[in-house]
Amino acid sequence: MGLQPTWLMSYEKEKTIIFDGVCNLCENSVLFIIKRDKARQFKFCAAQSEVGLYLQQKYNINAIDNETVILISNGMVFERSAAILEIINYFGGLWGLLKVLKLLPVSFRDWFYKKLAENRYYIFGKKTECLIPTDDIRDRFL
């Protein structure tokens, strides 16, 4: 993999969400998170982007093949339902009640996640290009 690009070094401490950039469900989920992330803690990148590909290689993960959203936070990688629950944990308020889902076995939570992920293009559709951020959220994308 070689040396880490200098443009990425400043993002090592960020909470970075890697998402499928052509999936309508994924795009809407990113917009949902941005709306609720009042502290602007999360950064985002499409799995197909230069940064997304670099991070997947660095952490030996594959968002598209594994059909998963990925959260990288302080060097830790969260996938599937663990990523979703970790993200929601930062919303505060009543969202914290969803922590109870962590009591369910990961295999059970991920079974539902995988079924939705396998059918996401069929149910929600697919785009030909990644999300183009507007000026007010452009700084949230790597």
How far apart CA 43 and CA 13 sit, in angstroms, is: 11
| Joined tokens for residue 123 | 């149910």
How far apart CA 109 and CA 103 sit, in angstroms, is: 10
How far apart CA 113 and CA 140 sit, in angstroms, is: 25
Give the pLDDT band (50/70/90) at residue 105: very high
| Joined tokens for residue 99 | 């922590």
Asked whether residue 62 carries a pLDDT value surpassing 70, the answer given is yes
Q: For the chain, what is the mean pLDDT?
A: 86
How far apart CA 69 and CA 34 sit, in angstroms, is: 15
Asked whether residue 1 carries a pLDDT value surpassing 80, the answer given is no
Angle at 69 between CA 43 and CA 76, to 5 degrees: 65
Question: Using one digit for the tens of pLDDT, what is the confidence trace for 110-141?
Answer: 999 999 888 888 888 887 777 777 788 888 88
Name the nearest CA neighbour of 17 among 38, 9, 49: 49
How far apart CA 23 and CA 30 sit, in angstroms, is: 11
Section 40-63 average pLDDT: 92
Section 75-99 average pLDDT: 90
Section 68-84 average pLDDT: 93
Q: What is the DSSP letter of 125?
A: -
Section 53-60 average pLDDT: 92
**97-134 CB burial, b ≥16 within 10 A, e <16:** eeeeeeeeeeeebbeebeeebeebeeeeeeeeebbeee
Segment of 3-7, 30-34, 91-95 carrying the highest mean pLDDT: 30-34
Model-level pTM? 0.85
Ordered structural domains, the chain, with CATH: 15-123 (3.40.30)
- What is the percent of the chain with per-residue pLDDT over 90, rounded to a whole number? 46
